[in-house]
A = this chain, B = another copy of it.
Amino acid sequence: MQTITWDTPFVRQVLASIQTHKPFIYGLTNYVAATLSANVLLAVGAGPAIGPALDWPEHFASGARGVWINAAALMSADIDALERAARAADQAGTPWVLDPVAFGAGAPVYDAAVRGLLVHSPTVIRGNASELIAFSGGDATGKGVETTAQTSEALGAIASLSRQAGAIVAVSGATDYVASGDEIFAIPGGDARLTKVTGAGCALGALIAAALGAHGDPLEATLAAHALYAEAAARASGQARGSASFATAFVDQLSLLEPELNAR
């Protein structure tokens, strides 16, 4: 299994490409996670728009360079808005990320609606271990949006889901793993305090969408987004007391990452 870090050359290329092209990224997410997601995108130089206003799902999903749909957007939007955004992205060839947050946590109508989005061919599916195990057909083990499984327990699930859905599948946790068909990559690092910051997973989905919108190779883009997240978390670690100052330091470090070699 190959390991990807900040020192893997294409990671900095992807960051440079985001900073240069400033891709416009459209997202549907829930209000709990929206502000952090927007700030993560702004930190790396992308331009975010979030929300299902009027005719935005179609217009913005087809006009954006990348789209992410966090299924918890269903808190303040109906499934129709998500369907329209996913369909518009798919038809326009805009890469899009599906985050089936809280899948398998006990709401079957919700789960069915989220699964229905797969017909619009997401480029990447990302989530935590519990969500992706459930989404791939395994037993639901989550409590709301918190996982009760380790990412290493989800390796079979993400590979299986990648083959089923024809998508890149990424699971985040202490170590992140990304599956593309039968290939699996590991991205180590991060900081456990990231699990105490609401929306941190959703914002990773937004960053993946930005990377997809700025870099031609979807697998490299997905891996790079995870490696950028891990690097910013590692740099933030020594600058924080508890969970809230960690969140601040983490976004700070994302905004300060420089793609040039020796810039550290």
Chain A residues with CB under 8 Å of chain B are 22, 24, 26, 30-36, 38-39, 42-43, 47-56, 59-60, 63-64, 72, 74-76, 79, 102, 105-110, 113, 143-146, 193, 195-199, 239-245, 247-256
Q: A53-B75, A72-B51 are in contact. Are A43 and B107 (CB under 8 A)?
A: no
CB pair B76–A143 under 8 Å, yes or no, is: no
Residues of B within 8 Å of A26, CB to CB, are 144
A144/B105 contact (C-beta < 8 A), A50-B75, A75-B52, A110-B53 known: no
Choose among B43, B47, B50, B51 the residue that contacts A244 (Cβ–Cβ < 8 A).
B43
Give CA–CA (A31, B35) in the complex, Å: 8
Given known pairs A42-B197, A109-B55, the reply for A49 and B102 (CB within 8 Å) is yes
Residues of B within 8 A of A249 (CB): 241, 244-245
In the complex formed, the residue of B with least CB distance to A43 is B243
Interchain CB contact (< 8 A) of A63 among B60, B106, B108, B252: B106
CA distance in complex: A170, B93 (Å): 38
- Distance in angstroms between the alpha carbons of A242 and B232 in the assembled complex: 12
List 10 A-B residue pairs with CB atoms under 8 Å apart, sorted by A's residue number. Answer: A31-B34, A31-B51, A32-B50, A33-B35, A55-B109, A60-B144, A242-B254, A243-B255, A244-B248, A244-B255
Is there an interface contact between A31 and B109, defined as CB atoms closer than 8 Å?
Answer: no
Q: In the complex, which of the residues B24, B30, B143, B240 contacts A47, with contact meaning CB atoms closer than 8 Å?
A: B143
| Given A30-B51, A32-B51: A42 and B243 interface contact (C-beta under 8 Å) | yes
Contact A242 B55 (CB under 8 A): no
Going nearest first, the 9 A-B pairs with the smallest beta carbon separation are A51-B75, A242-B252, A49-B144, A244-B251, A31-B31, A38-B198, A242-B255, A53-B74, A47-B146
